[in-house]
Chain A
Amino acid sequence: MDLDALAGCLSSSACLVTQTTSGLIIGMLLFLVAVGLTLIFGVLKVVNFSHGAFYMFGAYFAMAAYQLTGSFALAMLAGAAGTAILGLIFERVFMSRVYGADVLMQLLVCYAFVLIFDDVVRIIWGPEFKSMGMPSAFQVMPLFIAGGVVPPYYLLLIGVALVAAIVLGAGLSRTRIGKVIRAAAHNPGMVSALGINTGLIYGGVFALGGMLAGLAGALAAPVRSLTPGMGFSVLIESFIVTVIGGMGSILGALIGALLLGLIRSFGSLGFPLFTEGLMYLFMVIVLVSKPTGLFGKEAA
């Protein structure tokens, strides 16, 4: 425990800016993965344990597109679009068959695909780790804001995640499709009786969730090494986010992810040997005081 370092940081604007942006970066990437997870659970009532694989595929698709075209924008597009298509196929062909099944069966199918997807990546790209590399446009000196260090690439990353959060939030609450999705989450039988194709909605939501995780993977690819199985650790933290924020709540995922990012960022200063533990401790405190999570709703 190094509370002096933490107090010193809190009283210095430079440290405060650097550590806060550091927390936002960690949080925003986590949010993109966790929001897909929570969206799929909210509508489909399925805990998608294979969600981390979409993050992994997003990173690999982006790397492949970047190597092929040299365009960062196309790499991001490939990461997001590729995983959206993969998500749609996965949901229609496999997951749709186990919606009514026991939760253990759903878990088994998801886990099987975690292993299958990892092996597919291993066969296509090899077992060794890869690096996409930072696009030359972002190989610039970091910005200094109030004495704090902020890399331009991370500003883009935070911006993209924020836009995704706003579009998703507004889309679900203000558009017709959003209302249909929310209605399907609440009462799929009634939505179906009204002549709306619920299968299409389910497939679309799964594709959207996969796309968001894929986008997170694509955004992370320039700064993280790519290996088969890389989605697993992200998945665990995403579960913590959804548990803290409340399963099914998008706002909860955003707040939960940001809190977790800030805990890691400032925790590494004040509690360097207990940073991971702090996250779990926080989760326990939230669960004890509000078992449905910060923004979760009680089951009807």
Chain B
Amino acid sequence: MTRTRTPGISRRSTLALMGAGAMTFAAPWVARAQAKTIKIGMPTILSGRVAQLGTSSRNAVMLEVEKVNAAGGLAGRQIEMVVRDSKGQPQEAARVARELVNTDGCELLLDGEASSGSFAVHEVARDLGVLCIHTCSEASSLTADPKQHIPNAFRCVRQGIHDSIVGGSYAAAISKAKGLKKWATCSPDYAYGRDTTGEFTLYLKRFAPDVEIISESWPKLFQPDYTEVVTKILQAKPQALYSCLWGGDLTSYIDQANIYAMFGQMEVFAVNMADYTALTVVKNLPKGIHSGNRYIKTFPTTPENAAWGDAYKAKYNEYPTNWSWQNATAVMFLAEAAKKANSADGKKLAEVLKGLTIKCPFGADGTVTMRGDDHTLVGYAIGWGTTIPQEPYVPEVKAGDWKTIFELEAEWKKSKGYT
């Protein structure tokens, strides 16, 4: 027996047509509902010895994202942050970054990684073409080296070379005033420690040519005991000491050097001292340590900066860190770029971000700029001062001069073959 088809539209076809019709009418609504939020992915370090890097970065981002969302979001789209732990491992950072874009559907990336992880995330951004703002890596080469340049990556972070120029100039002035000719250095034995110390001594000698480095110590990163390093420096009898130890390593070093009364025997320049992570942890903070500003709410001395520091403390019951202000600034840049572009599209945002100047509590003159030619942050408040053991910890900070920074940075880039 054969079945004969009745002419006209079959039941199956009717259903298919109805389904297609429904999809046609409903699709814009579905798409609009999806587009209402924009996911921003953030790989960062949330576990391990430097977990504070990630948690204070995440906290600052969330603080700013709440404000942006309350004001209507990024070009009308509410921000949804997707923050993932990279454990501080570069390969994990790259994997997480890729997953955030490919699996979680994140349209933008905030890279809250330390230097080693940032270079890995940078390669992911190069590969996927997604807009990526680095918010923690201070390694100058990340944006100074033209080989690293990609149109969709920016760095919203202070830079090692900027700190070294300002620090070298500040230290040289004190060297000349106090006759500090014999210097020792003590910095962690990895890329950041070596590079930053090299750049600092380069500019110290440039501004004070009679300075001599008579002793160098390179303790390994996260070394628990510095006794042999402290006694070695005491034997060398320098008049001044430079260190870029940071975090728990710096506080250990201070505790151990304190009982040798080292701080009374030489001037100490510790670039990473003036950060609340170290200032509030050291129980017997010596008076008079020279330090670069990391984040303190009293520099720049503006009501906006103080209010931001207080708001952060009120929300998280601790003071912000250097990474906090950098991450907050990145969100501020995104918000302003979205307004100007009237879009949250990564490519359009990248176009607007180039050379964008925004009002910012952390700017030297109340503004910061995302420099167009190398996609890096400039104009932020940068300076050095001396510590006291209680708040405000660094009562007076001598601000660095951005004109000098730009001149010497250009020379440095040339010497490195970057320009």
A residues with a Cβ closer than 8 A to B are 5, 9, 15, 18-19, 22-23, 25-26, 29, 122, 127-134, 138-139, 141-142, 149, 151, 153-154, 220, 222-225, 227-230, 233-234, 264-265, 267-269, 272-273, 275-276
Q: How far is the CB of A269 from chain B (nearest CB, A)?
A: 6
CB pair B231 A18 closer than 8 Å: yes
CA distance A229 to B259 in the complex (A): 25
Contacting residue for A133 out of B55, B223, B260, B284, CB 8 A = B284
Which residues of B lie under 8 Å from residue A223 when comparing CB positions?
A: 252, 255-256, 259
Decide if B283 is an interface residue (CB 8 Å cutoff). Answer: yes
CB pair A272 B216 closer than 8 Å: yes
Chain B interface size, as a band, is 35 or more
CA distance A267 to B227 in the complex (A): 12
CB pair B235 A265 closer than 8 Å: no
Chain A residue nearest to B54 (CB atoms) is: A127
CB pair A26 B218 closer than 8 Å: no
Within 234-266 of B, Cβ neighbours of A (below 8 Å) are at 234-235, 247-249, 251-252, 255-256, 258-261
Which residues of A lie under 8 Å from residue B216 when comparing CB positions?
A: 272
CA distance A183 to B359 in the complex (A): 76
A-B contact pairs, 22 of them (CB 8 A): A9-B235, A18-B235, A19-B235, A129-B49, A131-B283, A132-B283, A134-B283, A139-B258, A141-B261, A149-B261, A151-B259, A153-B259, A154-B227, A224-B224, A224-B252, A224-B256, A225-B252, A225-B255, A228-B49, A229-B49, A265-B227, A272-B216
Known: A141-B261, A223-B259. A15 touches B227 (CB 8 A): no
CA distance A276 to B225 in the complex (A): 13
Chain A residue nearest to B264 (CB atoms) is: A141
Which residues of A lie under 8 Å from residue B255 when comparing CB positions?
A: 131, 133-134, 222-225
Which residues of B lie under 8 Å from residue A224 when comparing CB positions?
A: 224-225, 252, 255-256
CA distance A39 to B344 in the complex (A): 64
Most chain B CB atoms below 10 A, which of A264, A267, A272: A272
CA distance A53 to B281 in the complex (A): 22
Decide if B402 is an interface residue (CB 8 Å cutoff). Answer: no
Within 196-244 of B, Cβ neighbours of A (below 8 Å) are at 216-218, 220, 222-225, 227-232, 234-235
Q: How many pairs of A and B residues are in contact by the CB < 8 Å rule? A: 117
Decide if B301 is an interface residue (CB 8 Å cutoff). Answer: no
CB pair A269 B259 closer than 8 Å: no
CB pair B224 A19 closer than 8 Å: no
CB pair A22 B227 closer than 8 Å: yes
CB pair B248 A134 closer than 8 Å: no
Contacting residue for A128 out of B52, B234, B258, CB 8 A = B52
CA distance A12 to B260 in the complex (A): 19
Chain A residue nearest to B222 (CB atoms) is: A233
CB pair A127 B47 closer than 8 Å: yes
Most chain A CB atoms below 10 A, which of B231, B256, B260, B284: B231
Decide if B48 is an interface residue (CB 8 Å cutoff). Answer: yes
Chain A residue nearest to B281 (CB atoms) is: A131
CA distance A25 to B230 in the complex (A): 13
Within 268-314 of B, Cβ neighbours of A (below 8 Å) are at 277, 281-284
CA distance A234 to B44 in the complex (A): 27
Contacting residue for B235 out of A15, A141, A229, CB 8 A = A15
CA distance A272 to B252 in the complex (A): 20
CA distance A55 to B278 in the complex (A): 23
Known: A139-B284, A223-B256, A230-B224. A149 touches B251 (CB 8 A): no
CA distance A70 to B235 in the complex (A): 35
Chain A residue nearest to B223 (CB atoms) is: A233
CB pair B259 A131 closer than 8 Å: no
Known: A132-B283, A268-B217, A276-B220. A26 touches B227 (CB 8 A): yes
Contacting residue for B282 out of A22, A131, A234, A265, CB 8 A = A131
Which residues of A lie under 8 Å from residue B256 when comparing CB positions?
A: 223-224
CB pair B224 A269 closer than 8 Å: no
CA distance A25 to B261 in the complex (A): 17
Which residues of B lie under 8 Å from residue A128 when comparing CB positions?
A: 51-52, 55, 277, 281
Q: How far is the CB of A24 from chain B (nearest CB, A)?
A: 10
Q: How far is the CB of B396 from chain A (nearest CB, A)?
A: 25
Which residues of B lie under 8 Å from residue A229 when comparing CB positions?
A: 48-49
Which residues of B lie under 8 Å from residue A129 when comparing CB positions?
A: 49, 52, 247-248, 251, 281
CB pair A225 B235 closer than 8 Å: no
Q: How far is the CB of B44 from chain A (nearest CB, A)?
A: 13
Chain B residue nearest to A233 (CB atoms) is: B224
CB pair B260 A134 closer than 8 Å: no
